Amino acid sequence: MKMPSREESKNWKVVAFPLYSKRKVLWLLSRIKPLRDVRGEISPAQWWARGHFTHPARPKVVVLVLKPGKPVNLERLVFRAAGVLAENSGKTLDWAWGERGGRVYLVVKTLAKDRETGRNVLFRLGRKTLGELVDLVPGKPRGRERELRGRERERR
């Protein structure tokens, strides 16, 4: 399947993409200010622990860009989105978030813990979960079609 272009994804409410390089992860995190997690504001180095992990061919993080179409409490939106991710995957996730340019960036590490066994597992974003995130993010209000006024009706 072909990745959508930047132009194609401009009007989407949720965009998700993986990052495979630690350097790119830290670059993205440094551009999101302030960066926050469950504890509050943090630096990229605090969130990205040394020795973190995996094979070079595996994604290090999944980045979710949420674009609400109307004003909304961003912190509540992010915590609800993170809850959906954790609930659907059955894993304990490590994530951070921040706002940039009217968009909310939710960065989720792909190395997660299985809730039942406590073992390290790989987090993957599924279609069902992505669909639930799209439903969670409010869209732009639809403009109502203007009804014809009395004289305009007579003309037609």
Condensed to tens digits (0 to 9), the pLDDT of residues 55-102 reads 788 899 999 999 988 888 889 999 999 999 999 998 999 999 999 888
More confident residue, 59 or 50: 59
**Residues in CB range of 121: below 8 A, 6 or more apart:** 91, 112, 113, 114
Asked if omega into 34 is within 30° of 0 (cis), the reply is: yes
| Average pLDDT of the segment spanning 8-34 | 87
The alpha-carbon radius of gyration of the chain (Å, integer) is 19
**CA-to-CA distance for 123 and 139, rounded, in angstroms?**
27
**CA-to-CA distance for 91 and 111, rounded, in angstroms?**
10
Please, what is the average pLDDT of the chain? 84
pTM for the full predicted model: 0.81
**CA-to-CA distance for 127 and 90, rounded, in angstroms?**
15
Domain ranges of the chain: 14-140
Give SS3 for 79. Answer: helix
**CA-to-CA distance for 19 and 81, rounded, in angstroms?**
19
At 103, list the tokens. Answer: 């968009």
Condensed to tens digits (0 to 9), the pLDDT of residues 101-132 reads 888 999 999 988 898 898 988 898 988 999 89
Please give the full DSSP string across 69-99, using - where no structure is assigned: SS---HHHHHHHHHHHHHHHHTEE--EEEEE
**CA-to-CA distance for 88 and 77, rounded, in angstroms?**
17
Q: Which residues pair with 65 in a beta bridge?
A: 15, 105
